[in-house]
Structure 1
């Protein structure tokens, strides 16, 4: 039984790695597939909630590996230099970049911290998730058509993002508090509106996920009493899914960025419509 439990966890790790950075709602996929393979049977709900959050951090760590050179550069240049003429390299410093990321986190944190429990209790149902998947898909099509091909004033690098753009993206990220919307979809749409190119929008979404998921994972771990509160089986399942999500996400990020350089996001929107039907059927048969 323990081996089967770990194998199921590994399968969910694959699902997480495949969906975390795509605008299709990784949480929705984890819930659906978790119910299909009966991962929740005989497992306390507190562990399931924590498990779904922690393995997302595994996927997020792939960003650190893939973009390590850029991250290391922000660390080396974290403190801006000031020369004898009083000129500063602040805008080229790591401090500036991470302050931009921090600013984008603020709106979401202000909304999630007081309302997360209420949302989980009142909005996490098949009807809301299906509706949000559809509305999010429509928004992706509409906003991409309006903003993607604009050539003027496009920001093509995440290191050129301004405070105003970061705040806009952060406000759009708040949409992801509604189950089914997808943090990736919300931030990419917000980045389009703010003036980022599609590739820059996706990469900024990746970097923004680092502090967001570290914060949410810490909250969930404290909520369950930390890793020491887990059984041996739970630890093995969590560690396996974490590692699998990490490995799969490394592959997905590279392929996703390559895809975005030449292709539209419309297929992901269409997939959301199809997945919404799956969610509704699952709700009708009391799977979720």
Structure 2
């Protein structure tokens, strides 16, 4: 099946909103390349786009969204757009200013989801930051409140302090590092686990088990790795600047992994071969 214009399944978040399970991560996509990639992704059927003030590309993405809407390729209501507040944007006043900056650069009237990018536990400002984000949500400027890179204990503290359960916790997760205990806690709380680095920076693509399963089901190693996360119930936001790869990533909707495939891949969590590749959120940035 062609990926062009296809519908991507959604998940119902704990606030009743719908979010496409597959999105496009946009880190390191800048300027005209970002515009080109987003326009191509929209043509292929992507509706979920993830950015952050830290990425420095909100203006380019905003241009891409405006062009696509003006061309009739998509409506604003069909899009699910996320941005995030960086460390120096935490704090009750700072995050409100940061949010309005993101909204202005994106050229939007509201954001579908806004996140705290990292908890930065040493600063201890994530609770007041999240509370200020809830005020913006009350004004209709944010549809959904999320967090990223929150360990279980920090997430529990946030919920206890604010009385609000985030809809999503976006964390590093991939074959060999699924953070299964954290994901189980998310499931108990009704929080969606969203995976960044879902392809482990490409390292899992040469894994013999992943390659063998791909050969058995007629899929690429990347598709196997992404499909595995989807079948665990995770949302995924792989990044690519290639039109071919953007389409290939949507090919994960065309097959399912069998139980023995899932069990084989699950065993990679115990090997330590593909552990954490990004920063440890309990230490970063110190």
Higher relative contact order (CA 8 A, sep 6+): 1
TM range (shorter): under 0.3
User: Which structure: larger Rg?
Assistant: 1
- Which structure has the highest strand share of the two? 2
Tell me the TM-score normalised to structure 1 length: 0.26
Q: Name the TM-score, length of structure 2 as normaliser.
A: 0.26
